[in-house]
Amino acid sequence: MSDEDLKNILGGFYMITSIVVMRGSDGKSKSKFQFHQYNRRFVSPLRFYNIFDTHVLHAPQSLDSGFHQSIMNYLVGAFKPPCNIFVSFADGRSRKQVPLKKENGKTVMAALFQSQESIVGEVVIEPVHRKKVEHNGVKIELLGQIELYFDRGNFYDFTSLVRELDIPGELYERKTYPFEFSTVEMPYESYNGVNVRLRYILKVTISRNYVSNIVEYQEFVAVIDELYIQFSNSKQADGKVRNYTPTPSINNSIKMEVGIEDCLHIEFEYSKSKYHLKDVIIGKIYFLLVRIKLKNMELEIRRRESTGSGPNTYVETETLTKFELMDGAPVRGESIPIRLFLSPYELTPTYQNINNKFSVKYYLNLVLVDEEDRRYFKQQEITMYRLLETS
């Protein structure tokens, strides 16, 4: 039985009036479509069809054995979009590729763009099986969005650019639409944290009457001085903006003395207070007084993420790494060197009150543990930034 025959049957003699979900003896749910059979003068008793099982319940004698599979194919196809949408960039193949970690833990490659550069590409719309697609216009949007996970699903748009690609009409075959967003300003770095996500997306919308619009998302990762574009086959994706900063003109060292009166007195020193993401933390720990039996010492890098404001502020602290500085008991006058490379760790720049939604800060946490497993802490905030790469 063809799809056209099925449409005639459903339109002329049968009408789906409801969907009945029943539980069988095996404990599994079974969905059944409920039909009315029409005649010129009366409506016959209800007939039930089990669409998703291997047999049909009480099938009318007027229908052949292919009715079950035909309805299945017809209904499944009704929920698929009548066309495919593809988004590509003008020189995506020739661009430098960089790795980017997705939310699901997978790593994809992203092409590298310069900041303030125009985003140029094309949208291809291809009707399925050359079927006609009626529409009220086609547009592409560039959106910058922030999503707070305690308010998941609600996006706060801080950037929105629109380009109209087509006027209302009909599509019968594959059609290509070029697009360009000139010198796009993206004010914030993309970020995917514990409680918040900041992303950039390209959104293609085919507007239609009476039925839902057809929407396709293409994620990209943007940088203020450089722009990463991330290609993905997923229906919806995220993007990132990354700030590149010149070397700070003032970068003071950190030097502090801490301890417990008459028990422990140490002095620690870090060579600077601002670090780029591929930098090296260099410093020293001086033991001026040791009357506690210490067994080890380690240095932690912590990231503190604050989202929301006022009473709705959420603070999440992550320990990104622990670096052992000492194993064994130190003596008075001993000096312990510090040399910690930052490049192996997934760090971001420090963010200060991004769009009044969130902040991200980094800390160096010095931890000393005595023989009774008591822990002594000293925490110092540092500033992280992304260094502009010249090569």
The sign of the torsion formed by the CA atoms of 245, 247, 248, 251 equals: positive
DSSP code, position 77: H
- One digit per residue, the tens of pLDDT, for the chain of length 391 reads 445 544 444 444 344 444 444 444 554 444 444 444 433 333 344 444 444 443 444 444 444 555 555 555 555 555 678 899 998 888 878 877 766 667 677 777 766 666 677 888 999 999 998 788 999 999 999 998 998 887 777 889 999 999 999 999 999 999 999 999 998 888 888 788 888 988 888 899 999 988 899 999 887 776 655 434 443 333 443 444 555 666 777 888 888 888 787 788 889 899 999 999 999 999 999 989 888 888 889 999 999 999 988 888 899 999 999 999 888 888 888 898 999 999 999 898 999 999 999 999 999 999 988 888 888 888 999 999 887 765 4
Residue 145 to residues 27, 140, 379, Cα–Cα distance (Å):
44, 16, 33
What per-residue confidence (pLDDT) applies to 31?
46
Question: Which CATH architecture fits 3-43+245-385?
Answer: Sandwich (2.60)
E-only strand ranges, 90-132: 97-101, 107-114, 119-127
Residue indicated by tokens 């000096």: 335
Check: CB of residue 360 under 8 Å from CB of residue 303: yes
Residue limits of CATH 2.60.40.640 in the chain: 3-43+245-385, 63-223
Positive or negative torsion for Cα 134, 13, 47, 67? negative
> Distance between CA 172 and CA 126 in Å, rounded?
8
CB count within 10 Å of CB 357 equals: 19
pTM, rounded to two decimals: 0.71
Q: In what order do the strands lie in the sheet with 226-230?
A: 97-101, 107-114, 226-230
Torsion sign (Cα): 291, 292, 297, 303: negative
* Nearest CA among 285, 305, 313, 377 for reference residue 347: 305
CATH topology of domain 63-223: Immunoglobulin-like (2.60.40)
Whole-number Å distance between alpha carbons of 12 and 355:
57
Distances (CA, A) of 316 to 239, 349, 358: 22, 17, 11
DSSP state letter for 168:
S
Whole-angstrom CA distances from 326 to 205, 283, 356 are 59, 14, 41
- Residue 106 backbone zone (phi > 0: left; psi -120 to 50: alpha; other: beta): beta
